[in-house]
Structure formats: structure tokens, C-alpha cells
Amino acid sequence: MHGLIAIVGMPGAGKSTATEVFEKEGYRKIRFGAVTMDELERRGLDINEENESVVRETLRVEHGMDAYAKLNEPKIRDTLSSSDVVIDGLYSWQEYTYLKPKFPGLVLLAIYASPATRYRRLAFRGERRLSEEQARSRDIAEIENIDKASPIAMADYAIVNEGTIDEFRARAQQMARVLRVVWR
């Protein structure tokens, strides 16, 4: 039996870094946000915060608030048939409630970092940098418009990411290994 974990958290908390650790531990990654990037490419739009926001909201209008779960479900099923899976970026409560009955063993791992820490990271990350104002605006939009806080609040496990990157990676690695034992 293979396990399914979804990593949840606000922008800049460390979801992608945690996902990389899980990948190194043998999990296969499904990045929910890849749907947005694919849609931007399909529409011929530049990758930037404004276009990403429009696409995210449009997909949710077209497919419902659980759009990313619906659009990624076939990939989850296919990948889960041969490997443990880590989902990078389950965002909304509706995505969680769509997936949980279909995958009862789904585990939520919340990555937490304070707004000040996250905004500092987002201002200096390699791609898709955000100013503090943009980051704060995105936080509010994700909490108010897609109910991003609920899956974080309902997480089965949490890792606080306020220290060094090495400390965080070590905690994520420990979690990846513990879950493998739990699932077996």
C-alpha cells in the first residue's frame, strides 16, 4: 500500500522545500500549481502574480473550489498505484474534502512560518518574487477567497520552519521516514 501526503501552508512557508525532501526520500511529487502554469502556457500568458491569480480564480469558477483536486485526481491515482505520493500545494478546504473520501489515508502536513519570515523569503526567492505588499495581499486573498487556512488548521502533522534550512530539511526528512513506517 502506498501513502499520500499533502503539504499545506501559506506562500513562502517552505512547502516546496519540504516536497523536495520527500522526493529525495522516494516519494513522487504532484504539484497542484502546475495546473496554473500549464493553463498560463495554453493561454499564451506571461508568468507573473497577476496572471497566475486570474488563472487560479478562473479555474475555480469553471470547475468549482475543488478544481485543483479534480484536475489532479487522475494523476494522483496513477502515481499512487506505484509509489508514495507527496502533493505540493493543496490549497483549499474544498480540495481536501474532495480528496479525503477518495483517498481515506490522505495525510495533511502543515508547514508554518510567521508572516515576517515568509515575506522576507518571498522577497528574495529565485522565481516569482513578491514584495511584502504583494505577499500580504496574496495571503489575504488565499485565506478569504479559497479557504486556504482550513486545511492548515486540520493538518495531521506540522513543522515550524523558522530556523535554518538545514534544520527544516532534517525535520522534513524525519517526517517522510516516519510516515513510511506508519503506512507500512
Residue 160 has pLDDT above 70, yes or no: yes
Give tens-digit pLDDT for 107-125. 999 999 999 999 999 999 8
> How many domains are there within the chain?
1
List the grid coordinates of 154.
Answer: 486540520
Give tens-digit pLDDT for 131-153. 899 999 989 988 998 899 999 99
pLDDT band at 184; cut points 50, 70, 90? low
Helix axes 115-124, 132-146, angle to 10 degrees: 120
Residue 53 has a pLDDT of 84
CATH number at 73 reads: 3.40.50.300
Give tens-digit pLDDT for 47-62. 887 898 899 889 989 9
Model pTM score: 0.89
Residue 51 has a pLDDT of 92
Question: CB 9: neighbour CB atoms within 10 A?
Answer: 26
Instruction: Tell me what the mean pLDDT of segment 152-159 comes to.
Output: 97
Residue 126 has pLDDT above 80, yes or no: no
Residue 149 has a pLDDT of 94
Lowest mean pLDDT among 2-16, 38-52, 96-110, 163-177: 38-52
Angle at 32 (CA atoms; ends 28, 34), nearest 5 degrees: 95
Max CA distance (Å), the chain: 45
Residue 157 is part of which domain span?
Answer: 4-183
Spatial CB neighbours of 104, under 8 Å, sequence gap ≥ 6:
none
